[in-house]
Amino acid sequence: MRAPVYAVPVLAALAALSLAGCSRDKAPDALETRGATTAAGAPVAAAVPADAPVILAFGDSLYAGYQLDQGQSYPARLQAALNAAGVKARVINAGVSGDTTAAARQRLAFTLDNQPRKPALVMVGLGGNDMLRGLPPAQTRANLDAILAELKRRGIPVMLTGMLAAPNMGADYVAAFNPIWPALAKKYDAALVPFFLQPIIARPALQLPDHMHPNAQGVDAIVAATQPAVAQALAKALNG
């Protein structure tokens, strides 16, 4: 997989993001996502049926909704979009800003054990903070492997939303980091979104001032790009 061509402001932001945008500013929401709104703040009428299967969004700030209002996070907007499209789903936001794969690995069992209902699908969105901190790709791979192994042990299907290393991390780092997600998706028969941030790269109007995290409009762009794959993964999980 080739590294993305980031705009110059994105490269600068990637180098500084661990200081500016990845602090643990928001605890994971173990409750149901609710109060979804449009990017303009208008409520979305997308009732969640009581029997809707649960999708657990387990990740970092890109799931947690960094600097966004309640209801504007990716899990909240994904839930609204799925139900509006007739796909019953309750999406639980278990994103923690600043999480590395190691930190997420440590909290996985606690998060799963404290869900009121067993998830039908777990979305795993991690690795960006590992890259920003320059952590060895081998550690990232080992931690993600352990997370997927635990989910497999519990009989929970998985969808990976992948990350790519910024080119300024160096060719060797990129070559070791980028293949992690497709390799693990193949190993665990997991659904894969190759690069979660693809819809907002080099599109400042869809980004927060850090040029990395999506703003509310950016979240909607990511939801639009990923919703079909999520719906397909959920259907496979329920019928497989």
DSSP label at residue 162: -
**Residue 3 token pair:** 């590294």
Question: Could you tell me whether strands 191-193 and 121-125 are parallel, antiparallel, or unpaired per DSSP bridges?
Answer: unpaired
Give the active site residues.
61, 210, 213
CA distance linking residue 184 with residue 152, whole number of Å? 12
Q: Are 212 and 21 in contact (CB under 8 A)?
A: yes
CA distance linking residue 4 with residue 202, whole number of Å? 10
CA distance linking residue 202 with residue 126, whole number of Å? 21
SS3 158: strand
Angle formed at CA 206 by CA 95 and CA 171, multiple of 5 degrees: 75
